[in-house]
């Protein structure tokens, strides 16, 4: 009898030990990793963005002010010269021009090596945005006012302000989101390193300095005048055009620093 009782007991104990052991093994088998810092400078053309009522001009001479600029950067992928990539899991960062701390963040556990490019989704992938609401905390928290309660999903980019060259002044309301065809606004930006190399080593924190130019939201594959720039608060053909604009040209690499 005794030995029959002992066997299942041992099976359970070893089963549990096996689970613990496999976790440990995973950690051991990780390649050497480093941390990458990303820094965003929100700009309007060559001027730093201020939310204090400063009026900015477009190339065609229209003027506007900005009161809100917020956007998500997620699914960050680093590429090497040989074409191989590393996609950093679980990175969702809300950049809010009114919160300077939000414009700096780090991506840890990037395998060491020399990277020649970076890409990221401007927005939140559909799996996460539709996922378990009880996990929506931190930058993904619907309380950050970057969320469409009526259509379950995050707003990817929010630009608000006033077109001051319009008479009377016109509200600038640009809320871009939506992950469903035909009007999916999920876009990827891949600003060029322009020949620089991001050297990821354990023990150092290289930095990618990015600039984000608000003017490129209006001007890219589709050129909008501010007087006719559509008010967008739901997915539409225009919101996809705006998303394609900011994917194409809003983000530029201002520098890659070794440490």
Partner 1 sequence: MRATHLLRTLRQPLAHWRLAALLALGGVVVASASCSKVASLELAVPGTEQPANFPAMVYNLAKNPPSAAAFELGKALFYDKRLSHDGTVSCGSCHQVAAAFAQPGFRFSPGVGGRPGARNAPALQNLRWRRSFMADGGVLGLELQALAPLTDAHEMSMPLADALARLNADTNYQQHFAAVYGPGKIDTPQFLRALAQFTASLTSANSRYDKYVRHEAGGEFTAQEVSGLAVFKAKCGGCHATDLFTDESFRNNGLDRTFARDSGRAHITSWPTDRGRFRVPSLRNVAATGPYMHDGRFATLAQVLAHYNHGVQPSATLDPLLRQPDGQLGITLTAQEQAGLLTFLNTLTDQAFLTDNRLGPPH
Q: Which is nearer to partner 1, 142 or 249 (CB)?
A: 142
Q: Which is nearer to partner 1, 184 or 222 (CB)?
A: 184
Task: List the one residue out of 185, 190, 197 whose CA is nearest residue 252.
Answer: 190
Q: Which is nearer to partner 1, 146 or 166 (CB)?
A: 146
Tokens describing residue 229: 């720039």
Residue 257 contacts residue 206 (beta carbons within 8 Å)? yes
Q: Which is nearer to partner 1, 62 or 125 (CB)?
A: 125
Q: Please state the closest distance from residue 75 (CB atom) to partner 1, in A.
A: 21
Q: Which is nearer to partner 1, 109 or 180 (CB)?
A: 180
Residues that bind partner 1 (CB under 8 A): 1, 4-5, 7-9, 11-12, 15, 130, 132-137, 141-145, 147, 149-152, 180, 182-183, 234-236
Give dist(CA 106, CA 207) in Å, integer: 9
Q: Where are the alpha helices (DSSP H) in the chain?
A: 2-29, 126-129, 215-218, 237-249
Q: Please state the closest distance from residue 12 (CB atom) to partner 1, in A.
A: 5
68: part of which helix (H) or strand (E)? strand 63-80
SS3 content of the chain, % helix, strand, coil (to 5): 25, 40, 35
Q: Please state the closest distance from residue 154 (CB atom) to partner 1, in A.
A: 12
Give residue 122's Cα distance to chain centre: 5
Q: Which is nearer to partner 1, 117 or 235 (CB)?
A: 235
Give dist(CA 47, CA 162) in Å, integer: 18
Q: Please state the closest distance from residue 17 (CB atom) to partner 1, in A.
A: 13
Q: Please state the closest distance from residue 6 (CB atom) to partner 1, in A.
A: 9
Q: Please state the closest distance from residue 101 (CB atom) to partner 1, in A.
A: 17
Task: List the one residue out of 1, 5, 7, 73 whose CA is nearest residue 39.
Answer: 73
Give dist(CA 178, CA 180) in Å, integer: 6
């Amino acid at each position: 009898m005794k030995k029959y009782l002992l066997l299942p007991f041992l099976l359970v104990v070893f089963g549990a030990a096996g689970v613990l052991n496999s976790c440990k093994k995973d950690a051991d088998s990780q390649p050497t990793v480093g941390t990458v810092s990303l820094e965003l400078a929100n700009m309007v053309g060559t001027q730093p963005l201020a939310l204090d009522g400063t009026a900015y001009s477009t190339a065609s001479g229209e003027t506007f002010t900005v009161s809100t600029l917020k956007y998500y950067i997620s699914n960050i992928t680093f590429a090497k010269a040989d074409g191989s990539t590393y996609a950093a899991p679980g990175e969702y960062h809300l950049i809010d021009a009114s919160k300077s701390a939000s414009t700096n963040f780090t991506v840890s556990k990037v395998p060491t090596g020399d990277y020649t490019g970076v890409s990221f989704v401007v927005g939140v992938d559909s799996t996460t945005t539709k996922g378990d609401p009880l996990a929506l905390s931190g930058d993904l928290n619907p309380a950050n006012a970057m969320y469409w309660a009526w259509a379950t999903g995050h707003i990817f980019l929010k630009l608000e302000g006033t077109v001051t060259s319009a008479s009377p002044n016109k509200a600038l309301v640009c809320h871009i989101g939506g992950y469903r065809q035909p009007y999916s606004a999920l876009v990827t930006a891949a600003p060029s390193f322009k020949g620089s190399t991001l050297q990821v080593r354990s023990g150092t924190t290289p930095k990618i300095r990015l600039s984000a130019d608000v003017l490129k939201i209006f001007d890219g594959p589709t050129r909008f005048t501010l007087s006719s720039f559509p008010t967008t608060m739901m997915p539409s053909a225009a919101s996809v055009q705006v998303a394609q604009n900011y994917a194409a040209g809003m983000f530029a690499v201002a520098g890659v620093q070794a440490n």
